[in-house]
Structure 1
Amino acid sequence: MATTGFSTNTEFNGCLANLNIPYSQPKSSPTQMFLRLQAPKCLSDDGSIRFSVKPRGFGGRGFGKIGLASSLPERNFCVEAKEGLTYKDAGVDIDAGTELVRRIAKMAPGIGGFGGLFPLGDSYLVAGTDGVGTKLKLAFETRIHDTIGIDLVAMSVNDIVTSGAKPLFFLDYFATSHLDVDLAEKVIKGIVTGCQQSDCALLGGETAEMPGFYADGEYDLSGFAVGIVKKDSVIDGKNIVAGDHLIGLPSSGVHSNGFSLVRRVIERSGLSLKDKLPGGDVTLGEALMAPTVIYVKQVLDIISKGGVKGIAHITGGGFTDNIPRVFPNGLGAVIYKDSWEIPPVFNWIQEAGKIEVVEMRRTFNMGVGMVLVVNQEASQRILNDRHGTNRAYLIGEVADGEGVRFL
């Protein structure tokens, strides 16, 4: 039986036409045969799928000889179907989200940045809104509620600081079926802590009690931040050029994106959130619930010293989708793959979920939560700063040609 391999993203939906599979034919034949995969015969114990394959036609000059191809005998092939998970498998379609943004932008030009800019005199008000996604599910399971509020603040203020804006105030929305005052207090305590870390005011919010809408003990969160930046100081990426450096600021772990995929990996692995990560004393639950880093003070300090041209908050979409958002047309990123430390939790996720590297890079921050595009002089200053406690990595550079390449 012949065997052929497919990448993790290969989908077998009934029949795949024009799939190139080697088929016995005379060595003198100048043609390439195309074979049609019929419905799977069975799923074998090793995870491979056995197909009945019938010749469909020939490539090259013999492409039209369907009659000859049909006269050849049917053969069985074993296709190795890898079981690696993807974000889309977990129910999140990044491409669909990108398409929605594209459609909204037609109705409301200016949409699509990390934060929305509103002119006010010689300044811009910069606003952002976000939630914490299905990380909430892990908060319910681990009963860790005092840090999820930090995540909530972080997701909005980290977005607006990419424009160079200083956060002014934050508002929250907390919704639940039945108000548990003690639990809600823990959540809001985290929000207060997040506001303190980003030097902004918790201006107000909304607490909604909606009986029967949420499961017992569960709640939902969203947040809204507004900041301000002078018009002549806004960071917009317009003056980025090839040769500029990419500076990465370390993350604390998964932050608040990709948890739908994380939860699928946990389900598949059969591990408990109470199990310890390999080679450490931290449990899986503790590692995953580490609050999102709030970069506001560090980034504003770096901006104040000059040379910052663009900033990307690495959230859903990872490096692949977020870094290009700050580039002018025609420019892309070259990333140095081994230039920063990847937290162990990402290695566990990749191995336990059998996730392709490309999928990891498009779903998670992989240990870098914020990327600054700076000139080379600023790059050296940031990397040589020994006075602060914040680390920074030179993770790549700007290059001609769009997209993100890893070297």
Structure 2
Amino acid sequence: MPDPYAASGVDTAAGDRAVELMKRSIAATHTPAVLGGVGGFAGLFDARAIAGMRSPVLASSTDGVGTKIEIARALDKHDTVGQDLVGMVVDDIVVVGAAPLFMTDYIACGRVVPERIAEIVGGVADACRRTGTALVGGETAEHPGLLAPDEYDLAGAAVGVVEADALLGPDRVRTGDTVLALASSGLHSNGFSLVRRIVADAGLAFTDRIDELGGPLGEALLTPTRLYTAELLEVLDSADGAGVHALSHVTGGGIAANLARVLPDGAAVALERATWTPAPVFRVLADLGGLALTDVEGTWNLGIGMLAVVAPESASAIAARLASLGVPTWPVGTVSEGTTIHRASAEDGWVRGAKGVDGGAVRLSGTYAT
């Protein structure tokens, strides 16, 4: 008798084949602290790995890749969105000074194509390995009728750990601190609903060549999210690490709102646009949409993927170390007293906090370098 579940559109055998194809890449992320291998109902991580800490605090994060996946589907290129997922999840953990321990992923799809699933998870696993994160488990769910056969969504969650007295955040920030910008690799994984709208309204296909980008539009858009975790942890573990007071991951909401979240109430930062030149992909998209770059500052990172608030005497050394690790870094502003600024309205360009956090005040000023 035919399998009624398969007849309804769920191919469990294909799911098993996908697991077999991805096992090797997942295993490459495992350390002796990972117990049980691949395929259990729960991923197991030996907590003795943190037993030697004085006062360990666990940090957790969850996120997805969003509608950037639609561009991966359009190009049938699925080997980069896994890095996007790890960047969006694990780089949120390092913001508080935590080192990642382990991660799980979740793929919902209309139809399991084992090779495609293995390609996606292979990207997750490679990025986990590069950030020192064990990929301890995951789930692939087939949703026929809810998702079209070639549609899928990708999400994940991770856990890290930090000593309580090493937590980064607003309480460490001081007037006079330097704000360093860490370069992004491109759009990362935010604002792609706007990207897709602009491209559709312009009548373009993601396969169309854009001279300013040196190739097809979709390939530039799929540039994977830069991973900052390993480099930032190296800085935090160095002699200059004590000079790092706060970190901000520039994701949804743009530059100003995400920095404001990690500043104390009463602090203000004016970020100088003239200190950097947004990458061509941002200008191309803005021009296609008839927008100024200032119109999309609350949507795209415009070239800054992470911000570090550091002691002024440590700024040059921290920037130099990050640059030596392959992360271009430059000073973009200074923390000042913001008592009077906080009475100013949003019409003056100041942003205060985001996502429920009522933090400091931030605005971008001046004109972008060309």
TM-score interval, normalised by the smaller of the two chains: 0.7 to 0.9
Counterparts of 1:82-161 in structure 2, within 5 Å, are 122-161=55-94
Residue identity matched to 1:285: G
Structure 1 Cα separation of the partners of residues 207 and 257 of structure 2: 33
Show the counterpart of 1:309: 245
Tell me the SS of whatever aligns to 1:348: helix
Report how far residue 147 of structure 1 moved: 0.7
User: Is the CA contact 1:277–1:345 (under 8 Å) kept in the aligned structure 2?
Assistant: no
Looking at structure 2, the residues matched to 250 and 309 of structure 1 have their Cα atoms a distance apart, in angstroms, of 19
TM-score, normalization: structure 1? 0.68
Aligned to 1:4: none
Counterpart contact for 2:213–2:281, Cα < 8 Å: no
| Alignment deviations for residues 146-166 of structure 1 (CA, whole Å, 9 cap, x no partner) | 111111111000101000000
What is the aligned length?
Answer: 288
Aligned to 2:271: 335
2:295 counterpart of 1:359: yes
Q: For residue 365 of structure 2, what is the aligned residue in structure 1?
A: 406
Q: Is the 8 A contact 1:131 1:223 kept in 2?
A: yes
Cα separation, 2, equivalents of 1:157 and 1:284:
27
- CA distance in structure 1 between the partners assigned to 2:209 and 2:231 by the alignment: 31
Report what 1:186 is aligned to.
Answer: 119
- Percent identical pairs in the alignment equals 38
Show the 5 A alignment for 1:223-372: 223-304=156-237, 305-306=240-241, 307-372=243-308
Does the 8 Å CA contact 2:109/2:141 hold for their aligned counterparts?
Answer: yes
Q: 2:215 is paired with a residue of what secondary structure?
A: coil
- Per-residue CA deviation, residues 251-287 of structure 1 (Å, 9 max, x unaligned), is 1100000000000000111122122333342321111
**Distance in 2 between residues matched to 1:197 and 1:254, nearest whole Å:** 20
The match for 1:389 among 326, 332, 353 is: 326
Matched residue of 2:172: which SS?
coil
Partner AA of 1:404 in structure 2: R
Partner of 1:177: 110
Task: Report the Cα distance in structure 2 between the residues aligned to 1:348 and 1:290, rounded to whole angstroms.
Answer: 15
Give, in angstroms, the shift of residue 121 of structure 1.
6.8
How far apart, in 2, do the equivalents of 1:158 and 1:122 lie? Answer: 22
CA distance in 2, matches of 1:365, 1:254: 7
Match of residue 18 from structure 1 = none
Judge conservation of contact 2:60–2:160 (CA < 8 Å) in 1: yes
Aligned to 1:43: none
Paired AA for residue 312 in structure 2: Q
Letter in 2 for 1:399: S
Hey, what does 1:168 align to over in structure 2?
101
RMSD value over aligned CA atoms? 1.5
Structure with larger RCO (C-alpha < 8 A, sep 6+): 2
The answer for the alignment partner of 1:98 in structure 2 is none
Report the Cα distance in structure 2 between the residues aligned to 1:387 and 1:250, rounded to whole angstroms: 13
Residue deviations 1:308-330, cap 9 Å, x none? Answer: 01100000111121000000001
Deviations 1:308-361 (CA, angstroms, capped at 9, x unpaired): 011000001111210000000011211111212311000011111122433311
Distance of aligned partners of 1:257 and 1:280 in 2 relative to their CA distance in 1, 3 Å threshold? closer
**Contact 2:207 2:218 (8 Å CA) reproduced:** yes
Structure 2 CA distance for aligned equivalents of residues 384 and 369 of structure 1? 17
Distance 1:369 1:387 in 2: 17
Sort the Cα spacing of 1:384 and 1:148 in 2 relative to 1 into closer, same or farther, 3 A: closer
CA distance in structure 1 between the aligned counterparts of 2:153 and 2:146, rounded to whole angstroms? 11
Quickly say closer, same or farther: Cα 1:387–1:221, change in 2 above 3 A. closer
Take 1:291 and 1:125, find their aligned partners in 2: how far apart are those partners?
27
Letter of the structure 2 residue corresponding to residue 323 of structure 1: L
Change in 2 beyond 3 A, CA 1:235/1:141: same
Is this contact kept in 1: 2:212–2:284, CA < 8 A?
A: no
Q: Secondary structure at the match of 1:326?
A: coil
Higher helix share: 2
Report the AA paired with residue 392 of structure 1.
Answer: T
Structure 2's unaligned 5+ residue stretches are: 1-52, 339-360
Further displaced range: 331-340 or 185-194: 331-340
Counterpart of 2:316 in structure 1 is 380
Aligned partner letter, 2:253 = G
| Higher CA-based Rg | 1
Contact 1:150 1:190 survives alignment (8 Å): yes
Is 1:199 aligned to residue 132 of structure 2?
Answer: yes
Displacement of 1:388 in angstroms is: 3.3
User: Deviation at 1:175?
Assistant: 1.0
Alpha carbons 2:254, 2:298 under 8 Å: kept:
yes
Secondary structure, aligned partner of 1:149: helix
Task: Point out where structure 1 has 5 or more consecutive residues left out of the alignment.
Answer: 1-119
Give me the whole-angstrom Cα distance separating, in 2, the residues matched to 1:363 and 1:350: 11
